[in-house]
Chain A
Amino acid sequence: MVERFSGTRDYVAGEDLMMAVNAAIALQRPLLIKGEPGTGKTMLAMEVANALARPLFQWHIKSTSKAQQGLYEYDAVSRLRDSQLGDESVKDIKNYIMKGPLWESFQAETPSVVLIDEIDKADIEFPNDLLRELDRMEFFVYETKELISAEHRPLIIITSNNEKDLPDAFLRRCFFHYIQFPDKETMTQIVDVHFPDIKKQLLQQALEIFFDLRETPGLKKKPSTSELLDWLKLLLAEDISVEALQTSDQRKSIPPLAGALLKNEQDVHLFERLIFLNKRSERT
């Protein structure tokens, strides 16, 4: 029986997301995850690893990342230094080959999960350089002339923020899932998971404010799940009462601790202006 993922205690996964994960597990293909920032793309890999009790290898991509770094790196500088010092280890090149996350996962004793986080941050050619490695799950180490191939094909979860389009050839090899912004119902579930003791009323009020705020036209960065969770944490820490939230009618005043939700200066200005307009139209 193939392992199946069905969400975890700390992570609420929709049916469609579970299907995508399970397909990727069963066919051992990479899974590409997109979605608004803060909807739990990175968390997914950790939770899947948790749920399946597999080790997790993380590879966070930066704009300077090279595909090679995921496989291995040859530390020429250390070797050079050691040779200057006459160190014995210099004779074996293996001492200077540093394994990357993919190599580690290929050689793990059990099937593992690899997270390639924010693949779109890297150079446009980056995904193409990994095609063979992800397809065949093997690569060649030129320095030592050995072929490393995966003993257990890891589940590879790739996240993207859509900053760059990924090449077609790469996409064809992946399953794809777009994490949609959760609706109120799912959001309540998610909050329940994170704050089990939050008062019902407070939560309801907070969610209302939150979704209203998301509806504000022209926001540059809509607040997302992670912002909501931060905000709730603050509300709880500051012990804001339900009444305080209720009186802060969206259209008349800024909700308490709104800084946790709106992180863009222009958005805050826009929001303040809207409130001002609403107040004025009410007076007349």
Chain B
Amino acid sequence: MVLLDFFFRIRDAGISVSVKEYLTLIEALQHRVSGESIDNFYYLSRATFVKDEALYDRFDRAFGDYFNGLESLPDDFLKDIPEEWLKKQLELSLSEEDKKLIESLGGWEKLMETFKERLEEQQKRHQGGSKWIGTAGKSPFGAYGYNPEGIRVGQQGSRNRRAVKVWDKREYRNLDDSIELGTRNIKVALKRLRKFAREGAEEELDLDGTIRSTAKNAGYLDLKMVPERRNAIKVLLFFDIGGSMDDYVRSCEELFSAARTEFKHLEYFYFHNFIYESVWKDNRRRNNERISISQILHKYAADYKVIVVGDATMSPYEITYPGGSVEHFNEESGAVWLKRVLNVYSKVAWINPTPEARWKYHESISITRELVDDRMFGLTLSGLEKAMKQLAK
């Protein structure tokens, strides 16, 4: 089953194709949706197997890999190889020495025979799942010392040439794993942290309640009102600004604006590098108007969820030692202050814009991760989703 090999090849490429989709493809082939050309087969299998444009590139590569060379050989190739044509082509591209070499191998006729044999062999092997003769350099002619590209097997069919390009172009390369972190996407991620509750004034008609009470009321209309549904989640947001965070200003801005519209109860504060005894709300007056952490701990109840956004990239002393801060003399270490925050608020997530792969190279990040019990997440869509899931638990 050639098709089954193809199916597993696609799965190996990291595209989770299910049996159902495989059966769909077979059904489609039975309905002759695709016609005969490999172009059409490519489009059909892509529409059936791939459900995310980010995976198109992966699919193109797997498809190209699997069918490499196949498309350049028409089905009836073995029956009548245009010998004359091949011969001319070859002779044109051969040097005198090459020609001598051919002679020494038993002459042109012999060579063509070997060529045909190899081709047949290769086709059988292909059924077993490995590659056919092709551009990948597995051609039996490689051994003889000249480039099989020179023969240009099967190039007379321009119909197929175009087909190769479709997946070889890899137009979707940029889409793979480069999902942009736009405000909208962040909002979608933040939505996971929704908990609707009806609180406050009653201003909406409660349809179900009205029907129920009207029925109880022997059919006389009895209107019921309920308060509007609102997102009842409360959030404290701490932003690291300045210094090493400059690189991530844009993504942080987006996160901030998304958070501001998503959460009705949102309080935000800024800090530099690490949380010490005080933070501030206005960057222009950071030196005058500071808010002490103890004040925050008393003011906002324990049901607030805490999100800290910072790269946690600094000297470890800034976290662990009193007086470690680069800006002022802190009497107690940052770690102590962070612990105090963690003691009050049980739901905490630290969002780190530094790429996750680099976390292990910074000691300060490891220390911070330990402090927050590994609740550190990357500023990516999946990171945010994980963070929100964790907060919503």
Q: Which residues of A contact B (CB under 8 A)?
A: 2, 15-16, 19-20, 22-23, 26-27, 29, 32, 34, 76-77, 80, 83-84, 163-164, 166, 168, 171-178, 180, 220
The residues of A that contact B18 with a CB separation of less than 8 Å are 172
Asked if A80 and B46 make an inter-chain contact with CB atoms under 8 angstroms apart, the answer reads no
Within the assembled complex, what's the spacing in Å between the Cα atoms of A19 and B44?
6
Check if B298 is an interface residue, CB within 8 A of chain A: no
Pick from B43, B51, B211: contact of A80, CB under 8 Å: B211
Check if B21 is an interface residue, CB within 8 A of chain A: yes
Asked if A23 and B44 make an inter-chain contact with CB atoms under 8 angstroms apart, the answer reads yes
Pick from A23, A76, A178: contact of B56, CB under 8 Å: A178
Asked if B43 and A19 make an inter-chain contact with CB atoms under 8 angstroms apart, the answer reads yes
Q: Which residues of B contact A (CB under 8 A)?
A: 16, 18, 20-21, 24, 27-28, 31, 33-34, 39-40, 43-44, 46-48, 50-53, 56, 166, 171-172, 182, 184-185, 188, 207, 210-211, 214, 219-221
Asked if A20 and B47 make an inter-chain contact with CB atoms under 8 angstroms apart, the answer reads yes
Asked if B56 and A27 make an inter-chain contact with CB atoms under 8 angstroms apart, the answer reads no
Within the assembled complex, what's the spacing in Å between the Cα atoms of A32 and B207?
35
22 contacts between A and B (CB under 8 A): A2-B33, A15-B39, A16-B166, A19-B34, A19-B43, A20-B43, A22-B33, A23-B33, A23-B44, A23-B47, A27-B27, A84-B219, A84-B220, A163-B184, A163-B185, A164-B188, A172-B20, A174-B51, A176-B47, A177-B47, A178-B56, A180-B172
Asked if A80 and B50 make an inter-chain contact with CB atoms under 8 angstroms apart, the answer reads no
The residues of B that contact A174 with a CB separation of less than 8 Å are 51
Secondary structure of the B contact surface, majority rule: helix
Asked if B31 and A2 make an inter-chain contact with CB atoms under 8 angstroms apart, the answer reads yes
Within the assembled complex, what's the spacing in Å between the Cα atoms of A255 and B88?
56
Closest to B19 in A: A172
Asked if B40 and A26 make an inter-chain contact with CB atoms under 8 angstroms apart, the answer reads no
The residues of B that contact A23 with a CB separation of less than 8 Å are 28, 33-34, 44, 47-48
How distant is B57 from chain A, measured CB to nearest CB, in Å? 11
How distant is B71 from chain A, measured CB to nearest CB, in Å? 16
Within the assembled complex, what's the spacing in Å between the Cα atoms of A257 and B214?
59
Within the assembled complex, what's the spacing in Å between the Cα atoms of A174 and B52?
12
The residues of A that contact B188 with a CB separation of less than 8 Å are 163-164
Known A-B contacts A76-B207, A172-B18; the reply to A16 vs B24 at CB < 8 A is: no
Within the assembled complex, what's the spacing in Å between the Cα atoms of A2 and B30?
13
Asked if A84 and B221 make an inter-chain contact with CB atoms under 8 angstroms apart, the answer reads yes
The residues of A that contact B16 with a CB separation of less than 8 Å are 168
The residues of B that contact A168 with a CB separation of less than 8 Å are 16
Asked if A26 and B33 make an inter-chain contact with CB atoms under 8 angstroms apart, the answer reads yes
The residues of A that contact B27 with a CB separation of less than 8 Å are 27
The residues of A that contact B43 with a CB separation of less than 8 Å are 15-16, 19-20
Asked if B51 and A176 make an inter-chain contact with CB atoms under 8 angstroms apart, the answer reads yes
The residues of A that contact B52 with a CB separation of less than 8 Å are 176
Asked if A26 and B28 make an inter-chain contact with CB atoms under 8 angstroms apart, the answer reads yes
Pick from B46, B182, B185, B207: contact of A16, CB under 8 Å: B46
Within the assembled complex, what's the spacing in Å between the Cα atoms of A174 and B171?
23
The residues of A that contact B219 with a CB separation of less than 8 Å are 83-84
Closest to A183 in B: B171
Within the assembled complex, what's the spacing in Å between the Cα atoms of A4 and B254?
45
The residues of A that contact B34 with a CB separation of less than 8 Å are 19, 23
The residues of B that contact A15 with a CB separation of less than 8 Å are 39-40, 43
Closest to A170 in B: B51
Closest to B175 in A: A178
The residues of B that contact A32 with a CB separation of less than 8 Å are 51
Closest to B31 in A: A26
The residues of B that contact A77 with a CB separation of less than 8 Å are 207
Q: A23-B28, A163-B184 are in contact. List 4 more A-B contacts (CB 8 A).
A: A23-B34, A80-B221, A84-B221, A220-B182
Closest to B18 in A: A172
The residues of A that contact B185 with a CB separation of less than 8 Å are 163
Closest to B214 in A: A80
How distant is B4 from chain A, measured CB to nearest CB, in Å? 18
How distant is B188 from chain A, measured CB to nearest CB, in Å? 6
Interface centre among B31, B184, B185 (most CB of A within 10 A): B31
